[in-house]
Chain A
Amino acid sequence: MVTSEHMIRFEQVAKRYPGGIQALGDISFELGRGEMVFLTGRSGAGKSTLLKLIALLERPSRGRVLFDGRNVGRLSRRQIPWLRRQIGIVFQEHALLSDRRVFDNVALPLVIAGVAYPEIRRRVRAALDKVGLLDKERSYPPMLSGGQQQRVGIARAIVAKPSLLLADEPTGNLDPELSAELMQFFVSLHELGTTVLIASHDLDLIRRLQRRVLVLKDGTLADDVPAKQVTVS
């Protein structure tokens, strides 16, 4: 596989939704391999749209989005699954199957990849253990709290060991203590080599972690603060 220096590269990307709503306009930035970056901005600033463009949940109206050197906007419908398997995504609205047990929900990416069952069991348990929900593997998602469901979603996103982790407000439903714990968990993933991009408006938490921060404002990139300049207030 051709490896690119940049995991993600946006080149003058714009996204206009049907109906004329301009979600993003002229965004350009790069995300290095193994980097950990926060994406922040008010709600409606375009954070979710930006993440969706990477995983091809939406296609850009203009410009190019490169994942590992490939223009994702040019991928055919058949190639989308390949892209999504490189990326672990934590969705804001969890996107869990309510009629499947927690274990089966987390196992989904491995089942799709055709992993053998003993291996699935081992890796699902490991992922659930990391998010502190090993005792809930036989529960159904509706039996869990919002925060617990969020963590099931995180376990599912990391279980297939993706090279890129995207998270849309992963701490949105969690109390500060749990939020800090989860962020620390993302940091440890990053330290093991995963590229991590997290959309969050939890500025205090972001400042404490001292990582690079992209600031979106009205669909444009208002600021790109390098890691060392993020100050603890």
Chain B
Amino acid sequence: MFSISKKINDWIEERLMLEDLPFFKTPDYMYKVNYWLGALVAGSFMYAVISGLLLLLYYEPSAGYTSTISIIDSIPYGSVVLYSHLYAAYAMIILAYTHMFYNYFHGAYKRPRELLWIIGVILLVLTLSASFMGYSLIGDVLAVSAVDVGAGIVSGLGLGFLNPILFGAYDSGDFTRVLALHIILVALIGLFFVLHFFLAESYGMMPSRKVKPKAPAVYTKEEWSKFNAWWPRNFVYMSSLIFLTWGFILAIPNALAYLSGYPTYLNPFLNPHPAPSPSSPAAMSVTAYPPWFFLFLFKIADFTSSYLIMVLIGAIIPLLWFILVPFIDRSAELDPMKRKVAVGVGLVFLTYFIQTTIWGAIAPAVPAKLSQLVLVFLPPPILIGLGLAFIKPRGTSPKSGTSPMISAAIFSALTLLFIGAFSMFSQYPSVLTAGAVIPLGILFALAGTKKVLNADQPSNSLPSTVTSIDVNKVNTKVKLAEIMIAILLIVSIALVAALWTIPPTGFLSNLFGIDLGIVFIMLGEAISLYHYVVYVAGKQSSTS
């Protein structure tokens, strides 16, 4: 069965000279999704570009909202393309954050990848900006209020003269300028992506720390030459990932289009439908909220009345940190436990981001008092700081004592109790509150100096797994995979046949997106199984 495919492979390889591609050769252990998060981001980006170009054929920016509605209601499969375009952007943002934090905690910003990292951070900013502009193009009451907020921030920073340049006459329903900027920003993403991609290819993917424990973590020429060539294995593996990504991008929003009745705070996350027109009476009853990826910034606006402080906290400080981290954390260590400051800051940013996003969803535009900010934002850095302080890197000599996890947890509980008691005392000074705060303070101080909690490290040794490959087992697995591939392909064909029975417009048209999405997911899965059969199992049986 696979000899034909080999022939096809060889034919393509020869004609396109794929062997000479300057792409990074890949070691076997890297065929796991966590090494390919960047490819997933790129896949979502490609989908967004393709669907965006399709939408561009029909979207009329001078009549933003009417045009959006006509794409949904009267253009064949218009809503399918529009909703999946929105979710491609969502997927791209989520995956970009995942990709960034994954590499951050792995120390991938270290030598020699500093520039690669910085371009990545720039790409994140561009992605968020392009998404904001794209979200605004919907032209509904939410989009207009989102631009209002954006324009308000620009004016608040004393840059009000930029508003007509940035947003044009959006408040009269004309989104020409917004569309132009959306496309310009996407083009910039493409440009920086090419740079990012070729830099990534030239350094290669970040090797496992077991192989390269210190920076610079790159394979030498000799090591590199022994790995799998880009064609055909990487191509196959990547195809499966891209089909899966596209499948989910298509299936999820089109399925969500049929969902209703969830609480309103889930609206920013779950609702692909546009809100009412800003000029309709129904707009009066809509609570303004930004797209979910800016909920955190929206909430920060409730912390302070100064736009400058808001932008500092919400954007400039985190961005500066991420851009400068390669120059701050300069040691050769890649083990997260040996670069605790960088890891700690990253974890705190991540926690704060999740917290403020949720806060923005459940209590939008409710001003937060300083005491509430302290209550919300003090525990995470304390917990993270303590956790990191008590966890030792691998390879430190084991000593007897309390498990560090337990010590950390007890210490954290003690800290929280102390903070609680202290804030109580500061607001209601009395004998009772003083009686609570003093002993807790003493315990806290003692624990801090490790006199109470003798925390230490248990043994780190893990049983090393000795893998002996059973040829029979592999053969059974291969058989199973082949059957699965056949089933997936047959079901896919049936689903593709069913596609043409779905009406191109109207209520049922989103089934097209669900159907096509499932087909893509099945194809992705089939290709992934093919990859296993040909490369993984094939290699195992040949080495045993």
Is chain B a partner of chain A in the same complex?
Answer: no
**Which of B's residues lie within 8 Å of A, judged by CB?**
none
**Which of A's residues lie within 8 Å of B, judged by CB?**
none
